[in-house]
Chains A and B, each alone.
Chain A
Amino acid sequence: GAVVSQHPSWVICKSGTSVKIECRSLDFQATTMFWYRQFPKQSLMLMATSNEGSKATYEQGVEKDKFLINHASLTLSTLTVTSAHPEDSSFYICSAPGLAPYEQYFGPGTRLTVT
């Protein structure tokens, strides 16, 4: 089956620094990937859609200069949280569409803690 991985699984960083999260499709190609953010005891909120070879599409209210997305290859999308602050602490999950229409395969998530 389709497998999506994320790295790292958890990261702790200091306020003001930047953190990069990788999302990889391991056994299939993904021209599109989705990035979600999930705060504790809340739902998944779509942040942006990553498009291979072109600019990402950000959801309303998401700062594109703060959350930099790069989709440089058909199997890798990265999310960089720039100048991280404690309020950016969250569970970040990526997903990629699979072969079946509309289905999405989720990565295991990355827990970011900003101190």
Chain B
Amino acid sequence: GENVEQHPSTLSVQEGDSAVIKCTYSDSASNYFPWYKQELGKRPQLIIDIRSNVGEKKDQRIAVTLNKTAKHFSLHITETQPEDSAVYFCAGGFQKLVFGTGTRLLVSP
């Protein structure tokens, strides 16, 4: 089955800096890679996703890149703001999703 690894587990940045979170996956059949932001006690919120036929996708300050050959994908957040502080999960799969272990992002003013 699919296995998704995520790092770093924690990431502290200053407001305005960029943040990068990386994930690797094992199953070459996986073709959907979403990223979720989760605040304490809340449901995961989809912030961006990418499908296997695309190498990069951007939405304002957030971008995701996918390298199918190397089986890794990354989340890039530019101009970070304190409200970006949360736990971020990557996920991968075909019909069902396997989640990464999460990254706790702390953006300091």
Contacts and interface: CB of A to CB of B under 8 A. Distances in A.
Contacts of A46: 96-98
Interface of B: 1, 31-32, 34, 41-44, 46, 49, 51, 89, 93, 95-102
B99 A43 contact: yes
Given A44-B89, A44-B99, A46-B98, A107 B43 contact: yes
A106 interface: yes
B43 A93 contact: yes
A8 interface: no
Nearest to B93: A102
A111 B99 contact: no
Contacts of B100: 43
Contacts of B42: 108-109
B55 to A, nearest CB: 17
A102 B99 contact: no
B43 A106 contact: yes
Nearest to A36: B99
Nearest 4 A-B pairs (CB), nearest first? A102-B32, A106-B43, A44-B99, A43-B99
